[in-house]
Amino acid sequence: MRLSHDWHLAYCTNIHRGETWPETLANLERHTLAVRERICPGQPYAIGLRLGADAARELSEPATLTAFQRWLERHSCYVFTINGFPYGRFHGTRVKEQVYAPDWTTPERLAYTKLLFDLLVKLVPAGGEGSVSTVPGSFKEFIRSEAQVEAMRANLWQCVEYVAGLSERSGRALHLGLEPEPLCFIETSEETVRFFQAMRADRPGDARLDRHLGVNYDACHLAVEFEEAGAALAKLQAHGVKLSKVHLSNALKVPVNDASRRALSAFHDDVYFHQVVARDPAGRLRRFRDLDLALAAGAPSPHAGEEWRIHYHVPLHCQPVAPFATTADHLVAALDWLAKLPGCCRHFEMETYTWDVLPAALKARSVVDQLVAEYEWTLARLAERGIEPATGHA
Q: Which of 53-57, 157-161, 319-323 has the lowest mean pLDDT?
A: 319-323
pLDDT at 304: 61
> What is the per-residue DSSP string for 290-353?
SHHHHHTSSSS-SSTT-EEEEEEEE-TT--PPTT-EE-HHHHHHHHHHHHHSGGG--EEEE--G
Q: Indicate the burial class of 24 (C-beta count within 10 angstroms; 0-12, 13-18, 19 or more).
A: buried
Q: Indicate the burial class of 285 (C-beta count within 10 angstroms; 0-12, 13-18, 19 or more).
A: exposed
Question: Hey, CA dihedral for 14, 17, 20, 21, is it positive or negative?
Answer: negative
The answer to whether 211 and 154 are in contact (CB under 8 A) is no
Residue 51 lies in a domain: yes
Residue 308 lies in a domain: no
Asked whether residue 30 carries a pLDDT value surpassing 70, the answer given is yes
The answer to whether 274 and 266 are in contact (CB under 8 A) is no
Task: Tell me the mean pLDDT in the region 294-322.
Answer: 80
C-alpha 159/C-alpha 219 separation (Å) is 25
Strand partners, 11: 350
C-alpha 134/C-alpha 179 separation (Å) is 6
Residue 268 lies in a domain: no
CATH number, domain at 335?
3.20.20.150
The answer to whether 273 and 95 are in contact (CB under 8 A) is yes
Residue 164 lies in a domain: yes
C-alpha 246/C-alpha 217 separation (Å) is 5
Higher pLDDT, 362 or 224: 224
**Count of structural domains within the chain:** 1
Strand partners, 131: 81, 175
pLDDT at 24: 97
Asked whether residue 293 carries a pLDDT value surpassing 80, the answer given is yes
Question: Hey, CA dihedral for 226, 229, 230, 235, is it positive or negative?
Answer: positive
pTM value is: 0.95
Higher pLDDT, 222 or 96: 222
Q: How far apart are the first and last CA of the chain?
A: 8
Task: Tell me the mean pLDDT in the region 233-259.
Answer: 95
pLDDT at 218: 98
Higher pLDDT, 365 or 11: 11
Chain centroid offset of residue 4 CA: 22
Q: Compute the mean pLDDT over every residue in the chain, rounded to the nearest whole number.
A: 93
pLDDT at 271: 79
pLDDT at 288: 94
Residue 320 lies in a domain: no
If one counts every other C-beta atom within 10 angstroms of the C-beta of residue 32, the result is 23
pLDDT at 393: 60
pLDDT at 300: 54
Asked whether residue 96 carries a pLDDT value surpassing 90, the answer given is no
Higher pLDDT, 259 or 230: 230
pLDDT in tens, 327-370: 999 999 999 999 999 999 999 999 998 877 777 777 768 999 99
Phi, psi torsion values for 220, nearest 5 degrees: -60, -50
The answer to whether 213 and 176 are in contact (CB under 8 A) is yes
Domain limits for position 22: 4-249+327-384
Residue 217 lies in a domain: yes
Question: Hey, CA dihedral for 10, 11, 13, 16, is it positive or negative?
Answer: negative
Name the residue among 234, 231, 183, 192 with its Cα closest to residue 214. 192
Residue 167 lies in a domain: yes
Residue 392 lies in a domain: no
If one counts every other C-beta atom within 10 angstroms of the C-beta of residue 171, the result is 10
Name the residue among 154, 218, 164 with its Cα closest to residue 12. 218
Helix (H, G, I), strand (E, B) or coil at 169: helix
Task: Tell me the mean pLDDT in the region 214-243.
Answer: 98
